[in-house]
A and B are shown apart, each in its own frame.
Chain A
Amino acid sequence: MSDELDPGLKRLFAETAGHPADEAFVTVVTARTSRERRLTMLVRPLAGGLVAAAAAAALAMTLGLVLNQGRAVIGPLVSSSPLGWVAGLALVFAGAVCVRSLAPVFTRMRG
Chain B
Amino acid sequence: MTPGSLAAAAEASVVALAASGDDQAFAELVRRRQGMVRDLMGRLSGDRALAEDLAQQAFVHAWRQLGRLKSPAAFGAWLRAIAVNVWLQEARRAPARLEATEADPPEPDPEGPGQDELAAARLDLSRALLRLKAQERVCVVLSYAEGLSHGEIAQITGWPLGTVKSNVARGAERLRAWLSPQGESDERRA
Contact = CB atoms under 8 A, between A and B. Distances in A.
Nearest to B51: A19
Interface residues of B, number: 32
Contact of B149 (A3, A6, A33): A3
A21 B27 CA distance: 13
Contact of B35 (A9, A16, A18): A18
A33 B172 contact: no
Interface string B11-41: 0000000000001001100110011001100
B31 to A, nearest CB: 5
B122 interface: yes
A22 to B, nearest CB: 7
B24 to A, nearest CB: 9
Interface in B100-127: 118, 121-122, 125
B23 A9 contact: no
Interface of B is mostly: helix
Interface residues of A, number: 27
Q: Pick the most buried of B30, B121, B176: most chain A CB atoms within 10 A of its CB.
A: B30
A5 B118 contact: no
B79 to A, nearest CB: 12
B135 interface: no
Contacts of B145: 13, 17
Interface of A: 1, 3, 5-6, 8-10, 12-13, 15-23, 25-26, 28-30, 32-34, 36
